[in-house]
Every structure is written in structure tokens, then in C-alpha cells.
Amino acid sequence: METNDPHLTPKKNGPWRRRLLYAAGTLAVLGLLTAGYCYYAGLFGDNFREVSPGKCYRSGQMSAAHLATHIRESGIKCVINMRGGSANDPWHAAEERTCKEAGCVYLSLSLTLGRLVSPNDLSALVAQIDAGPYPILLHCKSGSDRAGLASVLYRVLKENQPLDEALSSQLSMRFGHMPVGDGTSVDELFKLYKQTSNGLDLRTWIRDVYPGKYQELYPHLKRFATQPSDSH
């Protein structure tokens, strides 16, 4: 017998409503967690961080205006861009112009992700870290992977910090670095050093051993070739 009384009509959609509410709640929590992590890792901004007080900084890509502000406020005298690019790229041209106007040294390198950094680019990075002038800014696109690699090199080569300490402090989720995807090529570089250094310090290994290891791994690439820029 049918009835029009709403209090007596079975609520057939009850289970579906509960499932939808549960799914919506789960998505909301995941969204909040993701947003919280991005904020924690500096991925909402330019990820500008201090590596060594008054000496070394790291960041992701930023606007020319923000770069000029950081150069002025932190007294930065050298900017190393690890994204590559050229004068044909508006962001690169603006960045280079900003550094020139500020009297700041500017070096542009194409450090690859997805495979190991070429010996040529790695040696150029080490040379500029050695030369400065300081304070220095190390930046890539997000400030997570290549900026982390350069920050580790700075800590080890300039401040004599043990490699494992430098890795734990500079290559971490705190800066957005994750042990997945193309960014793992940065971790693989230091893993290769540990496996093949035979007691050599990192600087000597980069100069004397790494080119040969790189050629063994990538025989189809020129030994010291600078790799094409990418947009990671």
C-alpha cells in the first residue's frame, strides 16, 4: 500500500548521500593537506630560502621585480640560473637585465632533470660557486631539485659540511624535493659519487672521475656537451 506521508516513505537515496558526503569530505581533507604541504615547501611563492646566513640563498623562478627586491634586500652579488634559457625567452632576458642593472654577476646553466647533469655544466656550477662573488643566489624553476643540488655543493665545497648532512638539510620535502620522477636524477648524482668515489673528496671526483662515469652511462652524448635547456 502506497502512502504520501513523507515520514513513512523509505529514504532510498540515504546510502548514496552518505557516500557522496564522505567522498566530498575526503577530497576536502586531501585538498587542505596538499595546500598545507605546498605552503610548507614554499611552492606557492618563489621558494626563496636561506642556505647560509648572509652568504647563500636558493629559490625558484621569480619575476624580475621580485628578483630585484631580493638582490637589494639581501645584497646578492651573483645569480646562478640553472634552468637554461636564452635572450629569446622573456623571463631570461628580464632576469639578465635585472642582474646587469644591479651590477650582479649572472650565469645561466642548463642543468638537466631526468638524467644526470652533464660534466660540463656541473664543472661550470662548481667554478661559479667557488668564484662567487657573494652573497649568491641559486635558482631553478621551483627551487626544489636543481637548487637543492647546487645548495648541497655549496655546503660541502664552501663550508666543508659532511655530504649526508648537506643532503638531509638541502634535498628534502621541506623545499619541495620528492624522491620520485625526474627530480630523482639529483639524488642519483650523489648516489653515484658514494658508490664510485673510493675515498676521493667531492670536488676531485667531479673533476677527475665523473666525466668518465657519465660517458659510460650516456655513450650517445658528448662527454662534455652542454645539454639543451628544459622547463622543469
Residues 20-46 have pLDDT tens digits of 555 554 544 333 333 333 433 444 569
Task: For 114-167, write each residue's pLDDT tens digit.
Answer: 999 999 999 999 999 999 999 999 999 999 999 999 999 999 999 999 999 999
Distance CA 121, CA 110 (A): 7
Report the Cα–Cα distance between both ends of the chain, in Å, rounded: 67
Amino acid in the structure at residue 188: E
**pTM exceeds 0.85 for this model:** no
Q: Going by C-beta distance under 8 Å and a sequence separation of 6 or more, which residues neighbour residue 171?
A: 145, 148, 149, 151, 152, 177, 186, 187, 190
Name the 3-class secondary structure at 106.
strand
